[in-house]
Amino acid sequence: MSVLTAADVEAAGGPLQLRAGQRLTPLARDRAKELGVEIIEAGMEAKVSADNISARQPTTTRTSRPATVTPPLTATAQAVTNSASMTTRPFAPLVSGAMYRRNSLGPMGKAGKATTIRRGRAGVVGAGHVGAMAALRLAECDLFDHVALVDVVPGLAAGLALDMWHGAGLYGFATTLSGSEDLAELAGCDYIIITAGKPRQPGMTRTDLTVGNAAIMKSVCEGIRRHAPEATLVVVSNPLEEMTHLAAEYTGFPQQRVLGMAGVLDSARFCSLVGLTGKARPQEVRALALGSHGPEMVIPLSQAFVGTSPIEKVLDAASLAAIIERTRESGGEVVKLLKKGSAYFSPAESAVSMVRIMASGSDEVIAACVRPSGAYGLADARVGLPVRLDRRGLREVVQLQLRPDELKALKEASARLAQRIGELAQLPSRPEPAGAAMASG
């Protein structure tokens, strides 16, 4: 028997035919799923696609097979920003980040031959807790040629980037890293995660951060506009909806290229808390946290599942209400325990997931903070909605069949957010109209 590894999958350049006696490592199967490489089992007529195992999507265009997703939603998924009507398609778990496990063969493979699938640049602004972790996870994905990290603190980003690169052989990635105080380091970035800004301290609300972080966002966005005008932004800085709005205003980028990260994290928190009941593992749970990254968070139970079972058939109403409440408070719970700063492992992974989904062309439905542009009849602010992304950012807002009470809660959340975003006009660093050329870019 011989064993094929992830490196063999990467080198396949198309469907990988297993011969009699050949086996794939679990990691190699993961890698095949990530790349959309079809595995043809020895002696089997039918092609066995990696996607038969899960709903993950190809990261390259090596296969033309359409996206498959696992079914349980009752929702009619319909594009709102795109008039093409969609078939009923549920959302599916996120693209795996487990591309290379520790001590496994890295992207150079056993033949020592670099693969050619890495392309483009990703950037992270703010090399604090979330930003540093995000940069490392972006590098670990091994999807990009280069990851650039920027922070105002002299030497911080450069030092962290060098430290991460020192571990490249151990982690198993070949994505290079650099760090700088200068936003020019972001030149040529396709995706930029913005984490610059103060985190909450115990007793603070996210809204308490508005004035300080708005000023930071302004200077960061001016630099991005100058040095990386084609980038797609994933905003992490809080308060999330306000900062996402300001990022769009300060850069003048099209709405499709400015996304806020909160829904991926809040959905993940909900799934993990369901996991604590012992009724399901977190990865078996699917749910979408919509509305705001805060008190107006809406988790529609009509769209939540454990495997293929509606979650309301698995857990009683009181348990679910308690889990939703704890999800809303999860960020604060971590802040209270840490006593200094806020959560960063799961936030960093959530932001990186969004980049990975875009870079890989995945079809899955996730929650992201976007401008509704008429979807769900919502106020035209920023709000967490179910979306599909493409390589450039927002592809479409997905119209789910929400129950009347869920839709009402979403509308209330959107109205509150519209009010808070309206109040940004009072800021000392309020946005000036961006250049017309940028707005059309």
Active site (catalytic) residues = 293
- Closest to ligand NAD by CB, 304 vs 368, is 368
Binding mask 355-384 for ligand NAD (x = CB under 6 A): ------------------------------
Interaction of residue 219 with ligand NAD, rule CB under 6 A: yes
Interaction of residue 216 with ligand NAD, rule CB under 6 A: yes
Give the binding range for ligand NAD (CB under 6 A) out of 5-13, 216-224, 312-320, 373-381: 216-224
Strand partners, 393: 390
Interaction of residue 341 with ligand NAD, rule CB under 6 A: yes
Size of the site for ligand NAD (CB under 6 A): 35
Instruction: For CA atoms 322, 261, 342, 197, give the dihedral sign.
Output: negative
User: What does the block give as tokens for 326?
Assistant: 């704890």
Specify the DSSP class assigned to residue 320: H
Please, which of residues 159-178 interact with ligand NAD by CB under 6 A? none
Provide the 3-class DSSP secondary structure of residue 224: helix
- Closest to ligand NAD by CB, 305 vs 344, is 344
- Closest to ligand NAD by CB, 146 vs 293, is 293
Interaction of residue 291 with ligand NAD, rule CB under 6 A: no
C-alpha to C-alpha distance for 123 and 186, rounded to whole angstroms? 6
Give the binding range for ligand NAD (CB under 6 A) out of 150-158, 303-311, 414-422, 426-434: 150-158
C-alpha to C-alpha distance for 57 and 148, rounded to whole angstroms? 26
Provide the 10 A C-beta neighbour count for residue 335: 19
Residue 344, φ and ψ in degrees, nearest 5: -145, -25
C-alpha to C-alpha distance for 302 and 309, rounded to whole angstroms? 11
C-alpha to C-alpha distance for 40 and 54, rounded to whole angstroms? 16
C-alpha to C-alpha distance for 325 and 319, rounded to whole angstroms? 10
Taking CB atoms, the residue at the shortest distance from ligand NAD is: 128
DSSP letters along 69-117, please? ----------BSSS-S--------PPPP--SS-TTS--TTTTTT---S-
Interaction of residue 213 with ligand NAD, rule CB under 6 A: yes
CB of 280 to ligand NAD, least distance (A): 23
Closest to 333 in 3D by CA, of 258, 372, 282, 276: 276
First to last CA, the chain: 55
Give the binding range for ligand NAD (CB under 6 A) out of 56-64, 95-103, 214-222, 248-256: 214-222
Give the binding range for ligand NAD (CB under 6 A) out of 163-171, 237-245, 249-257, 400-408: 237-245
C-alpha to C-alpha distance for 99 and 289, rounded to whole angstroms? 26
Give the binding range for ligand NAD (CB under 6 A) out of 23-31, 236-244, 321-329, 395-403: 236-244
- Closest to ligand NAD by CB, 55 vs 196, is 196
Among 7, 75, 220, 385, binds ligand NAD (CB under 6 A): 220
Instruction: Return residues touching ligand NAD (CB under 6 A).
Output: 125-131, 150-153, 195-200, 209, 213, 216, 219-220, 236-238, 240, 261-262, 265, 293, 341-344, 347
